[in-house]
Amino acid sequence: MSTSANAADAGASRYLISDLLEMLETYMPGDQVQEVYRAYLFGAEAHEGQHRMSGEPYIYHPVAVARVLGEMHMDYQSIVAAILHDVIEDTGTPKDVVRTEFGEQVAELVDGVSKLTQIRFESQAEQHAENFRKMMLAMVRDIRVILVKLADRLHNMRTLGVMRADKRRRIARETLDIYAPIANRLGMNQIRLELEELGFEAMYPMRHRVLSEAVRKARGNRKEILNKIETAIEQRLDEEQADCRLLSRQKHLYSLYRKIRDRVGSFNEVFDVYAFRIIVNSVDTCYRVLGTMHNLYKPVPGKFKDYIAIPKANGYQSLHTVLFGPYGVPIEVQIRTEDMERVAESGIAAHWLYKSSDASGGGNNAQTRARLWLRELLEMQRNAGNSLEFLENVKIDLFPDQVYVFTPAGDILNLPRGAAAVDFAYAVHTDVGNTCIAAKIDRRLAPLRTTLHNGQSVEIITASGAHPNPAWLNFVTTAKARSNIRHYLKNLQKDEAIDLGRRMLDKALYTIDSSLRDINVVMIEQVTRDCGFDHRDDLYADIGLGNRMAMLVARRLMPVDEGREDRQQEEQRSRPLAIRDTEGMVVHFARCCRPIPGDPIVGFISTGRGLVIHTETCSNLGDYRSRPDKWVDVEWQSDIEGDFPAEIRVDVNNQKGVLATVAAVISETGSNIENVSIEERDGLDTSLVFVMTVHDRQHLARVMRCIRKLPSVLRITRSKG
């Protein structure tokens, strides 16, 4: 259905409150209908004088949103919240007034849908992301928040034609990226399809028009084949005396468009599929009808999916199969019960729509799965650094082309296609993901980056001292895994920053004849509060990250006598900061000069990164000379261990196998090559540049001596910036 057609249809009923009340009376007690009418009077007064861009009174929009929810048979509080959903945001009506008039639940629903208008944001993207986070957190508390929002978005999409073209495209993109996938995640197929169709038309009007015309022509040409297949299926079902309904399904334009785009196929290849849905009265009949269909037409191997035994994440259940039809055309058949059909179309809304009828728990199944998803959202929100990261994680989570795998106990977990063993570990439990070291896939050891496939059995091996690896972010696909890894790394960085900051502050205090042990705890807490922090660890972390100078904090902790100022510099040099073997994420070794133990070094405080270590002879130091307050005297710790990258340039005769010979010598000396590049000098000579790991200057000197002995080597030098 086109946007204009939808708008015309909506305009025909004119959003009359009397029509809404008449609809509600079919399933709602009279006192609740009266409460809805009272909300209408309240909303009409609040929106008095406001108009939509189409020129119609603003109250038409909230009533239309309420009609969408009324068609789902939602409870009266949802209907009231729909009518009032813009009063806090657009009319200045306080939340407390809504609470007083209509109760706590309605006030929370309205507030959950309202945007944050009183806070200034640095960018529109940040504002959009923060509004989205606010709505999703409200949705965790009450699932009806998202139902009101989806109904609001649906009516906005139906009346999008009055907007400017750029605004239409922006809203359509947001709908296709976020709201249609959310509707799909909650199993609300009817709303999802309409949002996708309207979003497609607004986002790509030319493509929509061309594809719509192609579909119109193709349907006329295939009507005879469709009737023949339908008749054959009906006759076979009658012979089997199956109590069922047969529906032919129309392919939706956006679904066709995505298949053409993603599969890079032609329209005829994608459209030339005949789709039917068979609705039966029991699960047993589903499987019996499946056998009947496979006897009528041969099934296409590998195209059968049993979503009854293994439901989708949104609670969807059905049998799917593809058959070889007459003339070689493929036939898609879906087989499900009446209850499954209700859940497939309404998702979590089936909980309200059929809760008083004979539904056998299908809606509750969708509700349970929605609740599980919401709990995962809450965990992602806690681990996300900001609203933009949270929005990114939710987007990742909303597009699961799923794969089903088994735990050792036989339980089924569904993950996005392309998920790795690490994703599986985090899906089992956050602690399992944080401590995993390997996996057994079908009882065979496999790396954590191994991609999982349908039907595999996965067992995760953990170790108490293990922790997430930053490299996992390069291959994990689930939002839960990504957010938990990032959360761990952020905490790790903060812990390291706290340790470094404490050492730097202690060193700064030493220059004025003191130390942290000598400072009164009350004084430290006072300076911490003066600097805007609640806890001293936050102050230490700020120093360690380079955002605050240690000497300035030291002077506030212990004022310096004038007579002591002249000897500060000398004393400062007398006690350099010791650099350990692995300083983690807040001490960085400069790539320009690649310092290694034994090199004379200096430290430079870089805002947000922490301490950057250079060699004293680094050519880049001249750029920093104008900022002496950023320098820190440092030295290598005496018992330092570990591997450090060093870079050497080897000039060689251009002979066959020379690279392999040099690499073999480097390996024999206990060094690991991280990178090698080749620079052609002329036809006879070549320069090989190696980045390799060494323990210290002595180790590097031993490597260089061994390489220099090779007959093909002309010269060897260390690159130090």
Task: Tell me what the mean pLDDT of segment 426-436 comes to.
Answer: 89
Residue 599 has pLDDT above 50, yes or no: yes
Residue 220 has pLDDT above 70, yes or no: no
Task: Tell me what the mean pLDDT of segment 263-287 comes to.
Answer: 77
List, in order, residues 6 or more apart from 548 with CB less than 8 Å away: 531, 539, 542
**Can you give the pLDDT at residue 386?**
58
Q: Is 3-118 a domain of CATH 1.10.3210.10?
A: yes
Residue extent(s) of CATH 3.30.70.260 domains in the chain: 644-718
Task: Tell me what the mean pLDDT of segment 551-568 comes to.
Answer: 60
Which residues is 595 bridged to in the sheet?
A: none
Residue extent(s) of CATH 3.30.460.10 domains in the chain: 214-360
Q: Are 341 and 287 in contact (CB under 8 A)?
A: no
Task: State in Å, rounded, how far the first CA of the chain is from the last one.
Answer: 65
**Can you give the pLDDT at residue 472?**
85
Residue 387 has pLDDT above 80, yes or no: no
Can you tell me the distance from the alpha carbon of 342 to that of 362, in angstroms, rounded to the nearest whole number?
8
Percentage with pLDDT > 70 across the chain: 77
**Can you give the pLDDT at residue 129?**
63
Q: pTM score, two decimals?
A: 0.55
Can you tell me the distance from the alpha carbon of 527 to that of 416, in angstroms, rounded to the nearest whole number?
49
List, in order, residues 6 or more apart from 554 with CB less than 8 Å away: 505, 508, 509, 511, 512, 514
**Can you give the pLDDT at residue 368?**
64
Taking only the tens place, the pLDDT of each residue in 309-324 is: 888 777 788 999 988 8
List, in order, residues 6 or more apart from 148 with CB less than 8 Å away: 65, 69, 78, 81, 82, 85, 109, 112, 113
89 catalytic? Reply is yes
Residue extent(s) of CATH 3.10.20.30 domains in the chain: 400-477
Percentage with pLDDT > 90 across the chain: 12
Q: Which parts of 328-478 fold into alpha helices (H)?
A: 338-346, 350-353, 362-383, 387-397, 421-428, 430-434
Residue extent(s) of CATH 1.10.3210.10 domains in the chain: 3-118
Q: Are 248 and 228 in contact (CB under 8 A)?
A: no
56, 71, 89, 240: which one is catalytic? 89
How far from 107 is each of 18, 25, 142, 428, 551, CA to CA, in Å?
24, 24, 12, 36, 51
Q: Give the model's confidence band at 375: pLDDT under 50 very low, under 70 low, under 90 confident, else very high.
A: low
**Can you give the pLDDT at residue 2?**
41
3 state SS of 179:
helix
What's at 352, amino acid-wise?
Answer: W
Taking only the tens place, the pLDDT of each residue in 487-542 is: 777 777 677 777 777 887 887 777 677 777 778 778 888 888 877 788 888 888 77
Q: Hunting for tokens 């009947």 — which residue is that?
A: 292
What's at 226, amino acid-wise?
Answer: L
Q: Hunting for tokens 């900061």 — which residue is that?
A: 577
71, 90, 101, 177: which one is catalytic? 90
**Can you give the pLDDT at residue 413?**
78
**Can you give the three-state secondary structure of 675-698, one letter per residue?**
EEEEEECCCCEEEEEEEEEECCHH
For 429, which DSSP code?
Answer: -
Residue 165 has pLDDT above 80, yes or no: yes
Can you tell me the distance from the alpha carbon of 675 to that of 692, in angstroms, rounded to the nearest whole number?
7
CA 264, 267, 271: angle at the middle one, nearest 5?
A: 115
| CATH code linked to domain 644-718 | 3.30.70.260
Mean pLDDT estimate for the chain: 78
Task: Tell me what the mean pLDDT of segment 272-278 comes to.
Answer: 79
**Can you give the pLDDT at residue 706?**
93
List, in order, residues 6 or more apart from 514 with CB less than 8 Å away: 554, 557, 558
Residue 192 has pLDDT above 80, yes or no: yes
Neighbours of 291 (CB within 10 A): 10
Which residues is 690 bridged to in the sheet?
A: 648, 676
Q: Are 233 and 38 in contact (CB under 8 A)?
A: no
Can you tell me the distance from the alpha carbon of 253 to that of 237, in angstroms, rounded to the nearest whole number?
30
Q: Which parts of 159-204 fold into alpha helices (H)?
A: 165-174, 180-185, 189-203
For 710, which DSSP code?
Answer: S
**Can you give the three-state secondary structure of 335-370, one letter per residue?**
EEEHHHHHHHHHHHHHHHHCCCCCCCCHHHHHHHHH
> Token pair of 646, please?
């060093």
Class of domain 400-477: alpha beta
> Which pairing describes strands 601-606 and 330-337: parallel, antiparallel, or unpaired?
unpaired
How far from 247 is each of 227, 244, 275, 304, 412, CA to CA, in Å?
12, 10, 9, 19, 31
**Can you give the pLDDT at residue 271?**
55
CATH number assigned to the domain with residue range 214-360, chosen from the 4 options 3.40.50.300, 3.30.460.10, 1.25.40.10, 2.40.30.10: 3.30.460.10
Q: Are 463 and 446 in contact (CB under 8 A)?
A: no
> Token pair of 626, please?
């104008």
Q: Which of 86-90, 223-227, 279-283 has the lowest mean pLDDT?
A: 223-227
31 catalytic? Reply is no
